[in-house]
Amino acid sequence: QVQLVESGGGSVQAGGSQRLACVASGNTGSTWCMAWFRQAPGKEREGVAGDITQGFRGTADFVKGRFSISRDNAKNTLYLQMDSLEPEDTAMYYCAAAPQCNRWSLLQGPTYSYWGQGTQVTVSS
């Protein structure tokens, strides 16, 4: 059984920064695909950034240059560093994991079998 637990959400003013963390436990490994998604009220879930082992990372265009993803395999932890936050970034952020993926499916929700409970990020203007 795989469990994903997110942390690091909260309220921040526009222009500020936050770092989210997702700790994975259970039958995961360093070769698994992991990603961050978000969903704002009334909107569809969207992929934000993902990481495939061996160094490939993908970031959605709408956060490119502001958000970055990283991974510490020794700690089974995925991070999302969010800088220059905007009110439009307000959403519930979810961590997801899958045994395999490719660069085309990295930010597609159906790729992922396991999801965390989410952590709320609220950006005020």
Mean pLDDT over all residues of the chain?
94
Per-residue pLDDT of 56-66, as tens digits, reads: 899 999 999 99
Contact 19, 82 (CB under 8 A): yes
Q: How distant, in Å, are the alpha carbons of 13, 83, 95, 109 from that of 117?
A: 24, 23, 8, 15
**Could you give the C-alpha distances from 82 to 3, 10, 50, 79, in angstroms and in order?**
23, 12, 14, 10
**Residue 86 confidence (pLDDT):** 97
Q: How many CA atoms lie within 13 A of 68 on its CB side?
A: 6
Looking at the chain, the whole-number percentage of residues with pLDDT higher than 70 is 99
Under DSSP, is residue 105 helix (H, G, I), strand (E, B) or coil? coil
Residue 4 · residue 24 · CB < 8 Å:
yes
Whether the per-residue pLDDT at 52 is higher than 80: the answer is yes
3-state secondary structure of 62: helix
pLDDT higher than threshold 70 for residue 88: yes
- Binned at pLDDT 50, 70 and 90, residue 1 comes out as confident
CB-based contact 93:119 (threshold 8 Å)? yes
Structure tokens at 101: 């993926």
